[in-house]
């Protein structure tokens, strides 16, 4: 009940202030990052030798062809092991207030330790990582140049985090609309209105249209709970934290199907219907889904410039 009261107070305050300020902020056009570190981080991100059986790299589950996310409902790690969650996008993850579905990592550097060591993802121990990096002429040279010493696990995490910082996707049609550089179609505009008036923006707001609070999946009508999911409950053991997750970003959402922590919604239409039912307590009409999808598509940004060959 407390969560509900809090939610409706927020919804109320939000509707009162929404007219004055837009709930969504554009992604900055540029972000300063260390180019050399980020390029080293990109090589590490794509290197399958950083996994115990030499087959899985970060990019295996965070695909640049799929908006930085995984097209499979749940990820598959080394030796074909299935995980329990859908891989969220790494694009714009720098703007999230915490990392992982349950926010267990405070930043990207801390996050990167997770998959490297997770036995169902890359399954490596620190010593193996350092031994491998030190055995490579390329890495030795790069780490010495950038970090002034031979490769360490900690510096590898630092470089990966710097690369992820560079994975931002500016200049979406919607951001250009916010900056008054372009206009939206009638459908996109209506979708944005619905997004605000139906209450989506109470949870999905800020630069990442999400990524800045924990909320319950199934706030109004409960969503099935599975003890293996990485929710807040798995960290706190508080019953009210079951199915509570970091609100995912809706940036580039048209590219990152399937949806939800369990990858159970194969299309945006299905995800929106479930979201409105479980978290707002009503069924969306078809004539609402169409404009909402049009609006969400306008959140697709430019692909990160660090990935472009002709940059």
What does the binding site for ligand HEC look like in residue numbers (CB under 6 A)?
Answer: 7, 45, 56, 58, 60-62, 75, 77, 83, 85, 87-88, 90, 93, 96, 99-101, 108, 111-112, 115-116, 121-122, 160, 164, 198-200, 202-204, 215, 217, 219, 230, 245, 247-248, 250, 253, 256, 259-261, 271-272, 275-276, 279-280, 292
CB-nearer residue toward ligand HEC: 28 or 266: 266
Check if the beta carbon of residue 292 is closer than 8 Å to that of residue 272: yes
For 65, half-sphere exposure in the C-beta direction (CA atoms, 13 angstrom radius) is 4
Rounded to whole angstroms, how far apart are CA atoms 204 and 218? 15
CB-nearer residue toward ligand HEC: 26 or 191: 191
CB-nearer residue toward ligand HEC: 26 or 271: 271
Query: Least distance to ligand HEC from the beta carbon of 310, Å?
Result: 25
Query: Least distance to ligand HEC from the beta carbon of 36, Å?
Result: 18
Query: Least distance to ligand HEC from the beta carbon of 121, Å?
Result: 4
Query: Least distance to ligand HEC from the beta carbon of 51, Å?
Result: 7
Query: Least distance to ligand HEC from the beta carbon of 27, Å?
Result: 15
Query: Least distance to ligand HEC from the beta carbon of 251, Å?
Result: 10
CB-nearer residue toward ligand HEC: 79 or 148: 79
Rounded to whole angstroms, how far apart are CA atoms 178 and 167? 21
CB-nearer residue toward ligand HEC: 256 or 300: 256
CB-nearer residue toward ligand HEC: 26 or 83: 83
CB-nearer residue toward ligand HEC: 177 or 259: 259
Q: Which residues of 86-122 are buried (b: 16+ CB within 10 A; e: fewer)?
A: bbbbbbbbbbbebbbbbbbbeebbebbeebbbeebbb
Rounded to whole angstroms, how far apart are CA atoms 18 and 155? 43
Query: Least distance to ligand HEC from the beta carbon of 71, Å?
Result: 12
- 259-266 CB contacts, 8 Å cutoff, 24+ apart: 259/86, 260/86, 260/217, 261/85, 261/86, 261/101, 261/217, 261/229, 261/230, 261/231, 262/73, 262/74, 262/85, 262/86, 262/226, 262/229, 263/72, 263/73, 263/74, 263/85, 263/86, 264/73
Rounded to whole angstroms, how far apart are CA atoms 23 and 26? 10
End-to-end CA distance of the chain: 52
Check if the beta carbon of residue 166 is closer than 8 Å to that of residue 38: yes
CB-nearer residue toward ligand HEC: 71 or 310: 71
Sign of the CA dihedral 99, 105, 110, 115?
Answer: negative
């Amino acid at each position: 009940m407390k969560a509900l009261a809090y939610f409706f107070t927020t919804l109320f305050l939000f509707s009162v202030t929404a007219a004055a300020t837009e709930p969504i902020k554009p992604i900055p056009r540029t972000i300063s990052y260390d180019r050399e570190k980020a390029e080293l981080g990109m090589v590490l991100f794509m290197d399958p030798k950083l996994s115990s059986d030499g087959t899985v790299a970060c990019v295996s589950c965070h695909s640049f062809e799929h908006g930085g996310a995984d097209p499979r409902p749940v990820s598959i790690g080394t030796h074909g092991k299935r995980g329990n969650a859908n891989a969220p996008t790494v694009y714009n993850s720098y703007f999230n207030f915490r990392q992982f579905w349950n926010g267990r990592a405070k930043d990207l550097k801390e996050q990167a330790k997770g998959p490297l060591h997770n036995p169902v993802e890359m399954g490596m121990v620190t010593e193996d990582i350092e031994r491998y990096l030190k055995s490579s002429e390329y890495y030795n040279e790069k780490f010495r140049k950038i970090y002034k010493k031979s490769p360490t696990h900690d510096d590898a995490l630092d470089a990966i985090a710097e690369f992820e910082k560079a994975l931002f996707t500016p200049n979406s049609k919607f951001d250009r609309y916010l900056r008054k550089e372009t206009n939206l179609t009638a459908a996109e505009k209506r979708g944005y209105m619905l997004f605000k008036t139906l209450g989506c923006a109470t949870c999905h707001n800020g630069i990442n249209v999400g990524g800045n609070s924990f909320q319950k999946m199934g706030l109004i009508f409960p969503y099935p709970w599975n003890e293996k999911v990485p929710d807040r409950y798995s960290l706190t053991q508080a019953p009210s934290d079951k199915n509570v997750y970091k609100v995912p970003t809706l940036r580039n959402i048209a590219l990152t199907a399937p949806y939800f922590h369990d990858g159970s919604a194969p299309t945006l239409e299905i995800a929106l219907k479930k979201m409105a039912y479980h978290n707002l307590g009503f069924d969306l009409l078809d004539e609402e889904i169409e404009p909402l999808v049009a609006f969400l598509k306008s959140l697709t940004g430019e692909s990160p410039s660090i990935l472009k060959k002709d940059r």
